[in-house]
Amino acid sequence: MKDKIISFLFTGIMIILLFFIGMDTKELGNPTEAYQVYLNGQKIGLISSKKNLLDMIDTEQTMIKESYGVEKVYPPNGLSINKVYTYNHDIVSEEKIYNEVKEKESFTIEGYTVTITYNDNSSSTILDKGIKELKIYTLDKDIIKEALYNTAIAFIGEEELESYESKTQSEIIDEGEKLTSVYYAETITIKKDYISSEEKIFTDVDELSMYLLYGTNEKQKTVNVKATDDLETIADNNNLNILELLVANPTITRDTLLIEGQEINIGLIDPVVSVTYGKQVVETVDIAYSTKYVDDDGKYASYKETTTKGQNGKTKITQNIVYKNGEITSLLIVNKEVITPVVDEVITRGTKGVNSMIHDNSLGTDDFYWPTSTPFVITSTFKWRWGKHHNGIDISCSGFGTPIYSSTAGTVVEINSSCPSRGYYGSSCGSGYGNFIRIKDTNGNLIYYAHTTNDIKVRVGQTVTQGQHIGYMGNSGSSTGIHLHWQINAPDGTALDPCKVAFKC
């Protein structure tokens, strides 16, 4: 009896539900096919035709088509249109949705997005800006490829780059140089994309080439050549070095005869990519002889006699050099062959009545001992570089761990040995100097020995003698290659040109 009651109640409930469901279906009718439009994830309305909306976007945006020379315009990247079946009959016109989208977002055209991702091997100017990623937009991927090639030519030279790519470089027989590698330090990717019409879209190779070289498309400053001008004068007067001036004026070489009134571009190049290339260079260099003083305490200080006349030697050196945007970032002497041996000059002098000492100075002057071993190469001089003045000289030798010697007698006033010895660690480490030694000489000059390893052989307050071993060559701080930065500041803090006040370089 209980089971019959439960069965009866269940049947009754089902009949009632079917009655109401049937009534709702009859009132609502069949669902309508429509399209739900979203803009940046937010619903903005229902439309009856996706095609009509897309066609309206394409046909109405004639200005975009004319500006970029394209045949089709596409919706904004944040627009999505999804088919739905709905009982909601609140469908709006495609024109209403079009006008709302037009007010809020820009439409797109088909092109390419070029992403440049920067890393610790990028140029120092890029690293100093803290840029991690840059996007460039173009309609044709061949434009970016050609513009990148033009940027490489600006630093390497067209003929040299073409012979490298075609594998037609001449082999080095006795002396000479050849490219061994060419690449960009950054990761560069090119992807087909829909690009907002509000973005800067490059359609011209020359315009993009200029942007890659200067970091801007603003018109660069120019000057007119005066009768007394030469390249050095123009560069110095406008805070440039010769390389930067030549890159900014590709039709001019060091041998070009300037004409009065000629227009010269003095814009500061600031490349957005790091054109990195390696070279093997074989050349014969002069090796200066050492001057050795042999003291004779049996003769008075007025006595001086040259007992062996000095003679410079010649050594053929093979160098592996890495350049970044025209500047040497790494130089390593990998082989040396003595052509003519050095003959040291020996001078006997009287020291009766004065303290005795033996002085050996191979490449400096009597006042300034050369701070490294030989052979060496000065990779950067006292000059303007990337809009900043380089206040010393950079010296490269046989690589990491090359000994460094004190150029003068004096007192160690400051050291830093807390930076890693290798790699670029920016201006935050040792104020850009990385590991360094600062010595005050007897005339009050402050001499910097920068980018050393952290194995420093002296301590603050210690008195050092001229020629004393004080540390090792490293790659710390704002450095992109193993070298010694040698800098001399006058007592008033003014940076002096080492090749004018200290060395014969």
H/E stretch holding 111 reads strand 108-117
- Domain ranges in the chain are 21-105, 115-265, 278-362, 364-505
Dihedral class, residue 470 (left if φ above 0, else alpha if ψ from -120 to 50, else beta)? alpha
Among 21-35, 131-145, 245-259, 276-290, which stretch is predicted with the lowest mean pLDDT?
21-35
Please, is 324 exposed, middle or buried when counting C-beta atoms within 10 Å of its C-beta (0-12, 13-18, 19+)? Answer: buried
What does the pLDDT look like over 339-398, one tens digit per residue?
A: 999 998 888 877 654 433 333 444 566 688 899 987 888 888 898 877 788 899 999 887
- CA dist., res. 129 & res. 327, Å (int): 19
For residue 20, is pLDDT > 80? no
Q: Please tell me the CATH superfamily of domain 364-505, with its number.
A: Glucose Permease (Domain IIA) (2.70.70.10)
Nearest to 315 by CA among 381, 380, 362: 362
- CA dist., res. 420 & res. 451, Å (int): 10
Mean pLDDT of the chain: 86
Q: Are 425 and 451 in contact (CB under 8 A)?
A: no
- CA dist., res. 341 & res. 42, Å (int): 81
Can you give the pLDDT at residue 18? 43
For residue 115, is pLDDT > 80? yes
Of the pLDDT bands very low, low, confident and very high (cuts 50, 70, 90), residue 105 is very high
Of the pLDDT bands very low, low, confident and very high (cuts 50, 70, 90), residue 281 is very high
For the segment 200-220, the average pLDDT, to the nearest whole number, is 91
The pair of structure tokens assigned to 384 is 């303007």
Percentage of the chain lying above the pLDDT 90 cut: 55
Among 77-81, 302-306, 465-469, which stretch is predicted with the lowest mean pLDDT?
302-306
For residue 10, is pLDDT > 60? no
Please, is 388 exposed, middle or buried when counting C-beta atoms within 10 Å of its C-beta (0-12, 13-18, 19+)? Answer: exposed
pTM given for the model? 0.73
Label residues 328-362 b or e (16+ Cβ within 10 Å = b).
Answer: bbbbbbeebeeeeebeebbbbbbbeeeeeeebebb
What does the pLDDT look like over 403-418, one tens digit per residue?
A: 999 999 999 999 998 8
Contacts of 438 by beta carbon, 8 Å cutoff, 6+ apart: 412, 413, 414, 415, 446, 447, 448, 449
For residue 83, is pLDDT > 60? yes
For residue 494, is pLDDT > 90? yes
Of the pLDDT bands very low, low, confident and very high (cuts 50, 70, 90), residue 19 is very low
Can you give the pLDDT at residue 21? 45
- Considering only residues 249 and 361, tell me which one the structure prediction assigns the higher pLDDT: 249
Neighbouring C-alpha atoms within 13 Å toward the C-beta of 187: 6
- Considering only residues 447 and 12, tell me which one the structure prediction assigns the higher pLDDT: 447
Has domain 278-362 been given CATH number 2.20.230.10?
yes
Q: Are 323 and 329 in contact (CB under 8 A)?
A: yes
Can you give the pLDDT at residue 352? 59
For residue 11, is pLDDT > 80? no
CA-only gyration radius of the chain, Å: 36
Of the pLDDT bands very low, low, confident and very high (cuts 50, 70, 90), residue 193 is very high
